[in-house]
Structure formats: C-alpha cells, structure tokens
Chains A and B, each alone.
Chain A
Amino acid sequence: MVRFDFNPKQFGRLGFALAGLLAASCTGSIEMMGAGAGTVVDPGAAPANKPPQMTGTGGAGGTTQDPPPPTGIPSAVCKPSVSVSTPIRRLSRREYNNTVADLIGDKTAPAAGFPPELITTGFDTAADASMLNEGIVDNYLDAAQVLAQAGAANLPALLGCDPATKGEDVCAGQFITGFGRRAFRRPLTPEEQGRYQALYAATKKTAGFATSIELVLRAFLLAPQFMYRVETGNQPGPRPGLLKPTPYEMATRLSYFIWGSAPDDELLAAADAGRLATAEQVAAQAQRLLAHDNGGRLIRSFYGQLLGLGRLADLSRGPLFSARLASAMQQEIDLYFDTMIRKRKATWPELLTSPVGFVNTDSAPVYGMSGVSGLQLREIARPADRYRGFLTMPAFLTMRALPNQGSPILRGKFIREKILCQHIPDPPPNVDTKLAPADATTTARQILEAKTQTVQPCMTCHTLLNPPGFAFGNFDQIGAWNVTDAEKRNIETGGSLEGTDVDGTFKGHLDLIDKLAKSEETASCVGKVWFRYAMARMESVDDGCIQRDLLETFKASKGDIQQVLLKLVTTDAFLYR
C-alpha cells in the first residue's frame, strides 16, 4: 500500500514562473468562468481604432469599426496591437540543434545536454537570455569546438568549392560569404566580411588552410549574430508605434517559428527580393515551410511541449513500462499530430476525437491488441468504446500519472490549463497533501474527494480539477485500460463539469471529450497557446483583436489547425515589432 503526497510544485518552475500571473485564490484566478459571465469590457477600448488590416479569413479586415466581441468569447475585447519590445533572444537548445543540423549537417543534437531553458510561457520559444551563466557559455564553447572540428574534417562538403582548382583564398572567401549568410540569417556587412577574412588570413599563415577554415567556422558558431536573434528593423508599420522588421528578420521569424531553425536559401532569396513585404507573401512562405519535411518539427515541438512529453522515457511507471514502450508511445503521438494536421488537415475537434492510433509490437499490448510484430508503427482505428483523440493516448496518460496509478489531479489540471486555458493556482504552502491509500472499504476517488472536495482551501480548485481527471480513471499509469480497481470495484468516471461554456454532467471520458470538442473556450484556447508559442510571450489585453481574429478563423475553418497557423503569421504581432 502506498501513500502519495502531491507536491504543490507539480509543474515546477513553470508554476513558479507563472505565479505572478495567478491570483491567490482559485475563484479569483480562473478566467472565463462561464460563457459571457466573465466578460470584462474595457471601457477604455477605443472602438474608432481600426482593427488590424492584415487579415485572411475571418472578415475583420477593412471594417472601420470593431465588431462587438463574438458572444461567448469573454476575453476578446478587441484592442489593436501595440508595439512590443523584442529583446535579443538566444537560440534555445532545440533551435541550436536544428540550426547546426541544417547549416552543417550535424545531427548529434549537441545542445541536448545544456541546461534547460527557463520556461515562462509553457514553451521554449521564450527562452530567456537572462538565464545565461558561465556554465552555459562553457557548453557553447565546447559544442562549437566539436562542431567545427567535425565540419572541417570533411572540407570539400563544407566548402562546396575545390581549393585545388579555384584557389584556397577564393574558396575561403566564398565560404565566409555563403556560410555567414546562413549563420547570420542575412548577408554579412562588408566590415563583417573583412573581419572574418582577416581571421582566416592570420590563422592560415601559422596553421594552414584546413585549420583556418575550422577556426573561422568555430568563430561563426560562437558569434553573437549567430547565437542571438537581433531585430533592428525600424521602418514604420501601418499604424504609429508599429515598426517593420527587416525582410531578413521576417524570414528569421518565420523559419524559427515553423522550422525552429535558420531560413533556407529560398527564404533568404525572398528577403533579398523584398518578397516578404505583405501578409500574403508571408503566409505563402509559411505554407511552404509547413509543407516542407521540416514543417513536422513545429507540430512535434508544439504538441510535445503542450503535452509536456519531454521526459517520457525517463519515467518510472512499473514493470510493464520500458524505454522501448516509451519510444513507441512518443512516436505514436508525434505521428498522430503530424499526420492529422499536416497530411489530413485535421480540425481541432477531430484531434480531440479521432480513433486513429499507431502501434508497434511494444505498444500494441497497452491497447489490448495482440499479433502486432515489428518496431515499425502502423496505423490502427482504436476501439471507439474506449479511445477518442490524443487525450486517450498512452503517451499523454503515462505522462500524467504517478509511478503506480493514473493521476486524476494531473490529468484534470492539464485539461483546465492547456485545453481550456484556465489558471489553476498551486495549493497554498504548508497544506497537507498526503493521501491515505485505497482499501477494501474506500476507493481512491472517495479518498481524494473527501480530502480535497469537502474542505477549504482545497475544494474551490479541486471541485474544478478532479471531475475531468476522474473521467480518465480507467486508464492506469501506462494508459492501459482497467475496468475495475485492485479491489474489483467498478471505477466511477462520471461527474460534472463546471466553470466552462460546456458545463454539465458527463458519463465518462468519452462524454467529456465530446463536450470539450464542442466548447468555444477550447477553440479560443487553441489560438492562445499557439500565440504564446509563436510570439514567445503571454497574450495581453492589447492582443484582443488578434485573439478574436484567430477565433474567427478557427470558426470559419471549423477548427482547421493549419488555417489558424497561417492566420497567426499574418497578425500584427507577427508582422510588426
């Protein structure tokens, strides 16, 4: 028999970082308590101001007055975007790995062992450069050295130029120009070109050609223009206060958003030619990047982080759980989102409810299937009486579990925070979070309910958290289906959803998922979380128009995620600084 304590910091630094955004009590901090009920109309919102002009679907463009916020979208008080400072941003570990893979073909993920980013928005796109310390700088020095050595070991491939026929200095000059352009995401200035040429020339004298190229490459990989994204574009935007990033900065925004990496030649050529000036041109490039093989990186990165799947293989989940099973689970959910969104143009309700699954020999038993052989994943239609969408996938359920049982609190919290975009504060400090074990007379649910849903300070939040968590009670710590608990009792998964726009009773997880698929709150949450990922910041009241436009696009496309993404890159927040 086991007793668990639920720590206030289930979400660690994320919770800590967001603490400033959370009010002290649950009642005060859950936004959008019900359709319309929580609407806050900012009396200061100036209706005469034009909404953003750059619009695709949604129809807001060109109107001279803001339409009233669509009913049931409490937070969408439309205020036109204002300039938001864009501090220099150091590449995240993921971005660093992708970039060196694309630039020099190194797929060893050298930044994987660097210290993790401080996460403030739920995503690593907002990696905060202020977290810099000597340890990280040391990591960069080591990585650049190893990368440069490996790169220079295959000089012909690195240079793309034959020094024997063209001359060493010509090849070096071409390398500095060409590699510099990719690494700095823009053409080098003449001064930069000159400095790198000088470094090359000085080293060549003492160490020879190959070593000098290696050192130049190392210098590029350690250059601030490579490690940091710097935006300086200051041409006026469509409204006072908004500035246009340079075409190269726009190319960089696009490629780091969608590929998590530096722009390719085509994108840089578009910037050269001034073909990233309009929303349509930006959207067209976004569409190209998304359809490219590297486009899958965005889907994997976004949903991996939204679902917090990073450490799946390291979890302890009992004797049936293994690194191979973790790998199959991870591959399934990656493949699910990528296939559904990029290949099948899935809508959000489809992502929540699709029977599509992918199994191999390791993961088939979790779904109760036998006779599946091989490590290659194959597509299956999961039985509809148990499985519906990604919330019933083993990767998600295993992540939101304890070592020996599923966790209703973690699952409920995920639905509240990541599907409904509500804020649930951590338990107050010093609250006793120990739970007695289930026994012959009392179920785990009864114990948790008695402990958290009958007394303050627990019950305000847990009344909201627990029911959607209990709905998944049939799924154990590896997402396998259990009809009964250890005492052979049926597991009670029904409950009542409160504080949403789809309140009411539900019979179990299938019923709950169907409710969520119809919820406009989840629709608006889709826009919010994508906004946080793409803009590397939390949305503010000044982003009201954008939130509204994203929701309009969502509704017009019935929740087509690709359409939402294309809309996102044409919002003021993406196009201007």
Chain B
Amino acid sequence: MKLSRRTMLRGLGGVSVALPFLESAGTVFGAAGQAPKRVVFIFSSTGSVRKNWKPATVGPNPAPTPILKPLCTPELKPYLTALSGLNMDAGGGVNTHLEGMATCMTASQNKGDFASGISIDTAIGKNFKGVTPFESLQFGVNTRNPPNGFGDSFITYREKAGGGVEGLYPEDNPITMYGKLFANISANGAPSPLMVQQLAQNRSVLDFVIDEHKRLAATLSGADRSRLEEHATMIRNLEQRLAIVNTTCTKPKQALTTVGSTSAGSNVRPIAEMHMDMIAAAFACDLTRVATLQFSTGESALNWDDVDKSLNFRASGTSWWHGISHQPVNWDPTTATGNDRDALTAITGIQAWFAERIASLAMRMKGYTDSDGKTVLDNSLIVWVTEVAEGNHRMSDMPYTAVGNLGGALKSNIHLAYNKRQHGDLFATIGTAMGLPGFTTFGRQGYSQGPLTDWLA
C-alpha cells in the first residue's frame, strides 16, 4: 500500500532517530510535566437569544439556562464560563451577517465584508510554526451551502505574503481532512525504511517543481513573475512539514468513509461529529494547537428540518436558519407571543443543539490523557463565537461561552459580566493565558483594551 505525502509527515511521529533530512523541531511537548495549551473556536451563525443564553446571576457557579443546559452536566460544569456584556464594535460601519463574520474572529475594522486583520486562530497558530505540523486547522460544516453567493465570507484570516490579509476557507469534507491528518499513520509510529525512502522521494518531486516555478518565473516579468515566485514559496512552505518530527499518535476511528454532498442538511451532524473526533485527536497527537470549527455562514440557507427532523423547528413556519433568525420582533421570551415566541423557541433549540455539540467535543477531549497525566480538556479551551448577538444584527452584549481553563490559567465555572469592553479583549485574554507574546491587545487599535484580568486565574 502506498503511503501518502501526509503519511510521511505523520508516520514519522514519535521518532527519535536522526535522519539526515529531518530537521529537529525541538520538543513538541513543553517542559517535563507541562502539557501544551490548545484552543478551539466554534463558530455558529445568526446569533443567540440573549435571555435564554445569559445566566441569571453573575459570579461563580451560574445556574443552567435553556441554551447552556447541555454544558451544565457534572462533568462539564466545572469548565464552563459565560462571558456577557462584550461588544463587537471593531468592525464598524455596516453591521450585518457578512460583516459580522469578518470581524467576529479578527476584531478588526471591516473592508466591506472582508477583514483588515488576522483572526485569533492564525494569530495563535503562527507561534507554532515549525513546532506542530499545522499552525492551525480550519474545519467547516455546511459552509458552502448558500445559494446565489449568500454568505460567501470568511471568519479566518491570515497574513498574506506581501502585506494585507487573506481569507481562509475551512475544509468541509471530513474525509479530505482525515487524509490530511491521519491517513495511514501506523499505530506505533516507527518509520520503516520504505517510509524514509518515500519521504525522500516526496521531497525530491517538490524540489523539482519548485525549481520549475523559479525557472519559468525568470522568463516572465512583473505580476506574472511574482505570481510564480509566490507559488514556489508556498510549495516550499508546505514542504517544510515533511521535516517536522511528530509525536506518537493514535489515530481516531474514521467515522465516515464516504460523504455525499457536504452541503446537504442531513450531513451536518455526521460531518460535525467526525470533525470533532479529529479535533480532539489532533490535539492529543499535537498536530496543532489551535482549530476552528465553522458551522455554516452568516446568511445560512440551511434548513434545520434537514439537519434533525426531531427538533421540529418548523413550528414557526420555516426551518430556514437565516429566515428564522429574522422573525422575532420581540426578543424577550418572557413576553413574546405568537410568531415571535415560536421563532425564539426555534432559535433557542438551535443554540442548545450547538451547546450539545460543544459538550460532546469537550467530552471527547476529556477522553484523552495528556502528557502531564491530566486530560486534554484540562489543558484546552473551547470558545463559542457568532457573528451577531441576535438575529436583529445587534453587535453588543455578545453571547460568549467557553469550556475549559487552559490548565488553570483561566477561571471557570463562572459568569463574568462586562461593561464597555470589546470582543478583542476576549482574544487578548486567550493569547495571554496561553503564554504567547503579542497579546497585550487584539484587533483594531483603540477598541481592545487588553486581557480581561478578572478571567485570568
């Protein structure tokens, strides 16, 4: 059986033999007894219902709410943090779903529906260049669904060669992702002579192709020339992964071996489950320190009936996600009646569905023992973000939920309420709690004031 290019990366996991072409990447795990800290961002679109999300009391041990209930189990409640009162003003200008997507992870000023700064996942990830095989991983569920170009926007942005930022699409296909991360990893990680040979071959082809790009570039001028040079650089960057020594890794079971349309509503849950298997395993294997799981897009055309019929979201007359989010006029579930009440019930049901998914991801992470003997969840943080607070495009008092405390660097089992603080501060706190440099503020200047010190333990 042939080994893929990826196999070579991962297949050499845990090897300590010195191979002439392998540059040592140092210890992937931190100092003895210290496990790496990781973070995963969950994006779900079209906002929440404030009064069904926000815990009634501020401070430790908040009581469950209709939306947060799935995260209030005895196993997970100690990890739960609700952060209310943070505003998402940095985007500026037009505040709708697509603009919200652009700013929700970047805290940057929008240029149209495009961000002007990098997002928190790549900002964290770039610290691990050369340390983990992937600086960051972007998983998507139903992110290419929208018809007519609806919602065709990014939440992840990274620095672009030559300045500016570029948007990154998440990978919706879990099988592609599985191949990228785990294909053919041998359980014990010992490299056979064949694997070593194939790694060398992979490098020789890439070196050849890089030279061909440079050769052709030299015959061209201007933009054409730099385009090909850029292309060569990108191949070179990707080739670097071939040199990274990885840790021993137990690959997760491959839940799906075929997947139909990644845009079909009926595939949302199975794909999400498989993505979450992989996120937990990728952390346990130290393939990356940061992952993003994006559920659909701001103007999602997803029909919730197609996702899970038992949820009966059609009570409000439609199960069209973006459609439902715009129905309520009165957003107070205690006084809403008729159509408003039905729509709020439906949105609350969707949000609780996401809380359930996050709970199952957390439990997966809890199932892996980390290098320090604790669980992977203990050393991680799951952060749930959205692009509008509620379907009325409100961008204030965003509903941020976190699970985990980064190995005790953050407080948890608490509801923290803020006033006049910005969502960039949330991201500055995370970078700081991970011990990374450059997170004194995050995002647009003049908005983020710095870490939320009362969240830091």
Contacts and interface: CB of A to CB of B under 8 A. Distances in A.
Nearest to B172: A113
Contacts of B437: none
Contact of B197 (A9, A132, A206): A206
A323 B320 CA distance: 17
A314 B326 contact: no
A403 B318 contact: yes
Contacts of B149: 9-15
Given A87-B224, A137-B238, A141-B235, A7 B96 contact: yes
A5 interface: yes
Interface residues on A, range: 35 or more
Interface string B210-241: 00110011011001100110110011011000
A203 B301 contact: no
B317 A145 contact: no
B205 A130 contact: no
Contacts of B57: none
B299 A219 contact: no
Given A314-B264, A316-B265, A430-B94, A133 B113 contact: no
Interface in A306-352: 308, 311, 313-316, 323
A207 B197 contact: yes
Most chain-A CB neighbours within 10 Å: which of B179, B234, B303? B234
A223 B210 CA distance: 9
B320 A403 contact: yes
A28 interface: no
B360 interface: no
A133 B179 contact: no
Given A9-B150, A203-B204, A137 B231 contact: yes
A228 interface: yes
A494 to B, nearest CB: 27
A162 interface: no
Interface residues of B, number: 70
Contacts of B2: 149
B229 to A, nearest CB: 10
B339 A132 contact: no
Contacts of A194: none
Given A2-B318, A132-B231, A203 B147 contact: no
A276 to B, nearest CB: 23
Contacts of A236: none
Most chain-A CB neighbours within 10 Å: which of B96, B166, B205? B205
Nearest to B235: A137
A316 B216 contact: no
Contacts of B339: 1
A314 B261 contact: yes
A5 B326 contact: yes
Interface string A198-234: 0100110011000100010011001111001010100
Contacts of B4: 145
Contacts of B5: 141-142, 145
Interface in B177-228: 179-180, 197, 200-201, 204-206, 208-209, 212-213, 216-217, 219-220, 223-224, 227-228
Contacts of B219: 232
A410 interface: yes
A430 B227 CA distance: 38
Contacts of B112: 16
Given A4-B323, A223-B209, 9 more contacts: A4-B326, A7-B150, A10-B148, A12-B152, A87-B224, A134-B237, A134-B238, A137-B238, A142-B6
27 contacts: A1-B317, A2-B323, A9-B98, A10-B150, A12-B150, A113-B176, A132-B227, A133-B234, A134-B234, A134-B237, A134-B238, A135-B169, A137-B238, A138-B238, A145-B5, A195-B212, A207-B201, A215-B204, A222-B209, A223-B212, A228-B216, A230-B220, A230-B224, A314-B263, A315-B147, A399-B147, A403-B303
- Nearest first, the 7 A-B pairs at minimum CB distance are A12-B149, A314-B263, A316-B303, A12-B152, A137-B234, A222-B209, A429-B94
